[in-house]
Chain A
Amino acid sequence: MKTARREAWTGRVLLLVLMAATLMPFVSLFVTALHPSGSYPLGLDWPDDPQWGNFATAFTAARMTELLKSSVLIVLGVVPISLVVATMAGFAIGHLRIPGRRFVFVAFVLGLTLPFEGIVTPLYYLARDMGILNTRWAIILPLIGLFMPFSVFWMRAHFVNMPEELSESARIDGASTWQLFWKVHVPLAAPATSSLAILLFLWTWNQFLLAIVLVDDPLQRTMSGALGAFQGQWGTDIPLLCAGSLLILTPTLLVFLIFQRRFVTALLQGSLKG
């Protein structure tokens, strides 16, 4: 029993250290954000006169309302389309057992680890020729494609485990394939689709490379891409940069804290399947 207790204590201490190491950067960011704009504060020195106004300044400077709107629009473009399209494909490959499904599946799986840098150059010229360069579509459409391997993989994993009898009985009742999909399987897939939605939201929101390459105007980018531009414009002012970074982090953090259970589970499952 003694060993068990000692182990528990080491565990607790370790957890605390780990949490401190995780949080310390955020604390440093926060403290720095309170220093007078334009100064070069030391790492963790509490300012004599905390400048709470920096957050307001950064809010205006970063044009947060417009940024939020832009990111939300992009997420609204990527997530619903991806969900519908991937659920349909997952259903067909995993449940309908269409001919050639193994080939289709492998084709998608091969895209799972594709680095975005591998295709970002042609995507630029592709977007330009389609006339969507510097619009949000230039981020939305390629992202749907790039997330498709994982989304299909994820939904297939769900549909493979759905019992055949379910569909059999629906068919006996005269349901068409579409009705079978829409009325029976989509509602049952809710847990899988909602987890996928969380993952897609996060990945879209945080997408950086496509945002900086395909869209010049920070106000048409994702949050992450806008943060890059914010660094470009205000990187010369450390406290303001820190305040702005914290503001840009806040929406993700809020969503994460609200849905944290689902988030953690989804991400863990997500990586396991991926």
Chain B
Amino acid sequence: MVVILGGSLAAACAAPGSGNAQPTAAASSAPALSAAPTCGTEPITLKGYFETGFPIARALTDEFTKQHPNVTWDIREDQFAVITQNAPRVLADDPPDLMRLPQVSELVKNNLLKNLDDYAKVFGWDKWPPSQLEQMRLAPGGAVRGEGSLYAMGLNFSMTGVFYNKKLAEQIGMTTPPETLADLDAALAKAKEAGLAPIAQFNGGATGGLAFPLQDLMASYGPPAPINEWIYQKPGATIDTPSNLQATQHLEKWIKSGYFWKDVNAVDYATMMSRFIKGDGLFMFNGDWESGNLDKQMAGNIGFFLMPPAQAGGKRAAMSAPLTFGIGANAKNADCAAAFLNWVATDTQARTIGVEVGGSHPMGPADAPMPPVAAGSVTENTLAAGARIAEDNGAMDFIANATGAIYAKSWTPNLQKLVAGEQTPDGLLKSVQADYQSQVKGG
């Protein structure tokens, strides 16, 4: 005891952090691998840190244990906002073998994530369609995203758009999905007139769900490339552009027209899902990770379409991102975790889970077998939408992923203020851009 006390007292005088062993870039890239790593045959326990409410990760780990009985899991779950807060210190002080990752730039800057390049080479991930891995590549030092070394891997990659309740759509005479933004506006107005809640969305707590419709609107009004550049922290990128301003003004119009629930600022994600499934809300801006769930809970009554463009015949765009998982730079069982990630993308059973439980497109080679999907299901819809986005080259990462703190500290409060009438569209973009600049510079 005395020794501990004495030691800690002595350490207190130097500048904070100077006494720590720093993880270095060299330490995080292992010597080149000669053969694909496996989990071996000895009993091994992988430490996982997953997101609450997304059963896919658990379904996959359970199946993996079934196929590899020597592997067991020690899993902790938290909501995404909590993971975002905890990620750096968990990775630094108690690194998991496999972790659901928030935005990765700052984690890479601090050398907290394992460089996966060697695994990619030995497993052949580098031969997959490059767009699958693009968002998880970072230039040296984590400065710019979208190029460079691979630091994370997806369990599948998701696609966002607009779900709709078919019964309610019939009520207002909407028989085909809207083809333009004006069509969508008309449907919203009709739903409002009919006394329906036009949009089911969440915007409460630390997660501003209005970022979904906002980014969709941005993609309606403008091309996705500049938005991606902003998210990837390309020097000089800005979110405060004329077309984004139009998008934000459009969102404000929706708010003022009463298209969202009155208490949207207090609705969290789960409440939104529960209400939408109950039939409270015609449209919901969300992602295909809910496809499997919605097919089950609203069988036959659920449709999906990609956000329509402002001009008829325009290109479609959508937020599309891998369900990102990474390996701690100092994880004890990195090889086994990498073997698991490879298994997720290549094992037939795992790919089926990815689609059925996850609802999204599996990772992996372009010619890998696709599990069969029930005809007419919303899962079929969303997978088809994925093909369309690829065709239109319209995939964007999520604006909430630009920096680690941008969602909780900037988008969320500003969107909540926009709902309450305490922020203007112009002020919102300027405020987010200012926060972004200080975070990119300071981080």
Contacts and interface: CB of A to CB of B under 8 A. Distances in A.
Interface of A: 38-40, 124-126, 128-130, 133-134, 216-218, 229, 232-237
A233 B271 CA distance: 15
Contacts of A40: 271, 274-275, 278
Contacts of B268: 235-236
B349 interface: no
B360 to A, nearest CB: 20
A233 B77 contact: yes
B275 A126 contact: no
Given A39-B274, A236-B52, A130 B4 contact: yes
A126 B8 contact: yes
B90 A216 contact: yes
B94 A216 contact: yes
Interface string B315-335: 000000000000000000000
A80 to B, nearest CB: 16
Contact of A133 (B11, B78, B94): B94
A125 to B, nearest CB: 7
A128 B4 CA distance: 12
Interface string B274-306: 110010000000000000000000000000000
Contacts of B94: 133-134, 216
A92 B93 CA distance: 41
Given A130-B8, A134-B93, A235-B270, 13 more contacts: A38-B274, A40-B271, A40-B274, A125-B16, A128-B93, A129-B11, A130-B7, A216-B86, A218-B76, A229-B78, A233-B78, A234-B52, A235-B52
Contacts of B140: none
B128 interface: no
Given A129-B11, A133-B94, A134-B94, A232 B82 contact: yes
Interface in B69-100: 76-79, 82, 86, 89-90, 93-94
Contacts of A233: 52, 77-79
Given A216-B90, A232-B52, A129 B274 contact: no
Nearest to B271: A40
Nearest to B16: A125
Contacts of B53: 236
A50 B290 CA distance: 29
Contacts of A229: 78
- Chain B contact-residue range equals 20 to 34
B229 to A, nearest CB: 34
B269 interface: yes
Given A125-B16, A233-B52, A133 B93 contact: yes
A235 B79 contact: yes
10 contacts: A39-B274, A40-B274, A129-B7, A130-B8, A133-B93, A216-B90, A218-B76, A234-B52, A235-B270, A237-B270
A272 to B, nearest CB: 33
Contacts of A236: 52-53, 268-270
Q: Please list the 9 inter-chain residue pairs (A to B) with the smallest Cβ-Cβ separation, ordered nearest first.
A: A236-B270, A232-B78, A40-B274, A233-B77, A233-B52, A232-B79, A236-B53, A130-B4, A232-B82
Interface string B237-260: 000000000000000000000000
Nearest to A217: B76
A241 B278 CA distance: 20
Nearest to A219: B76
A234 B53 CA distance: 8
A235 B53 CA distance: 10
A223 to B, nearest CB: 18
Contacts of A125: 16
B102 to A, nearest CB: 15
Contacts of A124: 89
Contacts of A232: 52, 77-79, 82
Contacts of B19: 129
Interface in B1-23: 4, 7-8, 11, 16, 19
A81 to B, nearest CB: 11
Contacts of A39: 274
A151 B262 CA distance: 50
Contacts of B90: 216
A124 B16 CA distance: 13
A39 B4 CA distance: 51
Contacts of A234: 52
Nearest to A126: B8
A125 B52 CA distance: 28
Contact of B8 (A129, A134, A235): A129
A33 to B, nearest CB: 17
Interface in B40-87: 52-53, 76-79, 82, 86
A174 B268 CA distance: 71
A195 B256 CA distance: 58
A237 B52 CA distance: 11
Contacts of A218: 76
Contacts of B274: 38-40
Nearest to B17: A125
Contacts of A38: 274
Given A128-B93, A236-B53, A216 B270 contact: no
Nearest to B86: A216
A30 to B, nearest CB: 21
B50 to A, nearest CB: 10
Residue of A40, A217, A218 with highest tally of chain B CB at under 10 A: A40
B273 to A, nearest CB: 8
A229 B7 CA distance: 33
B82 to A, nearest CB: 6
A191 to B, nearest CB: 30
A134 to B, nearest CB: 6
Nearest to B4: A130
Contacts of B7: 129-130
B323 to A, nearest CB: 18
Nearest to B9: A126
A236 B204 CA distance: 13
A237 B89 CA distance: 28
Nearest to B83: A232
A128 B278 CA distance: 47
Nearest to B1: A141
Contacts of A129: 7-8, 11, 19
Nearest to A121: B16
